[in-house]
Structure 1
């Protein structure tokens, strides 16, 4: 797409995970300031054990673009966060969404979704559906869409759509390396690019990548999706 690159500041959102069966309720409040930013205040009561002076801070306040409370639905998260990024991708600009948090904080549910209900599907399947719907409406261009699935673990990149996954251990597969060309374009060496002609094919690749994804009990993961769209006039 011609014209200058759109540069936008990083938008940061927070989502409060619902309580599990045996989890104790935390003390927090959500509010807005004069600039329409959302504030999240977390209260951590001091341990007032007898004979022990504790001057530890009790109140922690953070600002976000928007805060999704425990009752927030997957559709609302998609509409606020992912749909604008998908629209930019359709206009010719790359976009990235990633979820950050410790193990068990709900990243996979937000990004990929839950398997129990159709309404629990997350950002990636909803975005794939939205993109293919928009492409079908555009009869003036011919589009090709490709899917890659990369895992970064211990500072190494692994291609989760490598067909040799079933026969090889993750460590034995070719490492995906990041390279930069003279024009400062980023290339991922050894990362497969598989064509997906429709939503079903894209979702099948997502399922295949999820199946191949290595699961470790204790680690902080970065889970995300990066959109790059090529179209032929």
Structure 2
């Protein structure tokens, strides 16, 4: 692995069915090119949104597949080479940790980081086993 570092990445999950039924509105916007997240206070039209900058930002339209390829794949690849790696999902209840880490079966692009990482690791083991035979 080229370097060691801690990266902080944020993902905005889509509204769930309960939130849609309650006519909730999204108060977060993302500028992925600048890795910035903006949070608006509902009803505060005169108040500018809070701005936060991260190492990576992903909005509702980003798939878990894209997040895996850009963030987790290099980490898992390093693990298969013998380096330590950790993905730590943190956030309040309902913020989307399970949505990102476990994912959903349909659509396949939203399969989670955990099943993708296992598949990646087992494919590497299988290829290495065939190579050693």
TM-score range, shorter chain: 0.7 to 0.9
Q: Which has the larger radius of gyration?
A: 1
Higher strand share: 1
Q: Report the TM-score when normalising by structure 2.
A: 0.79
Match of 1:26 in 2: 26
Cα offsets for 1:38-71 (capped at 9, x unmatched):
11111214669xxxxxxxx642111112211112
Structure 1 stretches of 4+ with a deviation exceeding 3 A read 45-48, 139-142
Aligned length: 127
Aligned to 1:125: 115
The alignment yields a C-alpha RMSD, in angstroms, of 2.7
Q: Deviations over 1:52-93 (max 9, x none)?
A: xxxxx6421111122111122121121112111111001110
Higher helix share: 2
Q: Unaligned stretches of 5+ in structure 2?
A: none
Q: Which position in structure 2 is the counterpart of 1:12?
A: 8
Match of 2:98 in 1: 108
TM-score between the two structures when normalised by the length of structure 1: 0.48
Question: Which ranges of structure 1 fall in alignment gaps of 5 or more residues?
Answer: 49-56, 143-233
Match of 1:91 in 2: 81
The answer on whether the counterparts of 2:68 and 2:113 sit within 8 Å (CA) in structure 1 is yes
Q: Against the structure 1 CA distance between its residues 89 and 44, is the aligned structure 2 distance closer, same or farther, given a 3 Å change threshold?
A: same
